[in-house]
Amino acid sequence: MPQDSVQLTARRWFDRLAPYRRASNGRAVFELLLTLGLFAAVNVVLYAGVLSGYYWTLLTLPLASLLVVRLFIIQHDCGHNSFFSTKKLNDNVGRVLGVLTFTPFDHWRRDHAMHHAFSGNLEQRGTGGDITTLTVEEYKALSPSGKFWYRVYRHPVLLFALAPAYLYLLQQRMPMGQWKKKMPWVSTMGTNLGMIVFYGGVITLVGWKAFLIVQIPMICLGGSIGIWLFYVQHQFDETHWSRRPEWTREHAALYGSSYYVLPQPLMWFTGNIGVHHVHHLSARVPFYNLQKTLKAFPELKSMNRLGLIESFRCTRLALWDEAKGRLLSFREARMMMAAA
């Protein structure tokens, strides 16, 4: 298909999604209260179990972490001004939820907007918290030590086990690299103050030991799930990256984001964020409307499909081949370079 036709197709899809960009305050309140209620109930079970010595209740930690992910998705929609119909409601709820998700809302929202603005643009990689991805040629040009450290960075243990703990417990407590800007400091310190007050009350009730046993693993596991979702929604075999003038936001959104087909319970816990190609094309569609777009336009279900089992193979992908227009593993890139 000619490039101009492809761009027109992506923009036409954006227009067709207009009816689904309407937020429903009633639906939003229901989703928020339901999620908070379940989150509170699971936390009561966890803390009561630990305080009583029934450590088997820690088996519900993954459930609590999934609910943290769902709270983050609500906060995420608030950041796009899509969850409620007014900016004031979105901002206030997003800031409060930041205390529960360990995420400073306003600071995160600005960075995430950069991710949406430049997703799929090879000339703007690394913006908005993107996972750093080199091209094959860039990797070839690295020194041996540079290649080693890039491979360490792309290792699943670092990406999905160590990085989440660092990001949510340390990095988001201080606006690194933003020393002269007011907003990141106000947002981060405001969230930190809210966390001190809220979790100070929790510690007063349950003690330090129970807090550390429950809260830290809950946030770290929730962070791992969140980073995994962020990874597979853009790091799959036939994702899309390009340079200007070929790059456009609409085309990169529609063809560079996956439709991550999860079992229905996981779709619920992750706020339908697996319908990521629709979300990136039109971020003002609230998560409770994303499934409606698939029902209205079944052809969207066939685009960029990625199943749960299939998605685990995406961890091997690490380098973008500009000539082939796809991601490669280190092994594939090494074989290609050897053949050349």
Write the pLDDT tens digit of every residue in 193-250: 999 999 999 999 999 999 999 999 999 999 999 999 999 999 998 899 999 888 888 8
Which residues, 6+ apart, have CB-to-CB distance to 166 below 8 Å? none
Inform me whether the pLDDT recorded for 8 exceeds 80: no
Confidence class for position 94, pLDDT limits 50, 70, 90:
very high
Over residues 9-32, mean pLDDT = 92
Inform me whether the pLDDT recorded for 1 exceeds 50: no
Percent of the chain with pLDDT over 70: 97
User: What confidence score (pLDDT) does residue 238 get?
Assistant: 83
Inform me whether the pLDDT recorded for 129 exceeds 80: no
Inform me whether the pLDDT recorded for 3 exceeds 50: no
User: What confidence score (pLDDT) does residue 254 get?
Assistant: 87
Percent of the chain with pLDDT over 90: 82
Inform me whether the pLDDT recorded for 335 exceeds 50: yes
Residue given tokens 């907003």 in the structure block: 183
Span 43-53, pLDDT tens digits: 999 999 999 99
User: What confidence score (pLDDT) does residue 198 get?
Assistant: 98
Q: Closest by alpha carbon to 158, among 167, 145, 147, 171?
A: 167
Which residues, 6+ apart, have CB-to-CB distance to 138 below 8 Å? none
Over residues 273-292, mean pLDDT = 96
Hey, where are the domains in the chain?
Answer: 3-132+156-316
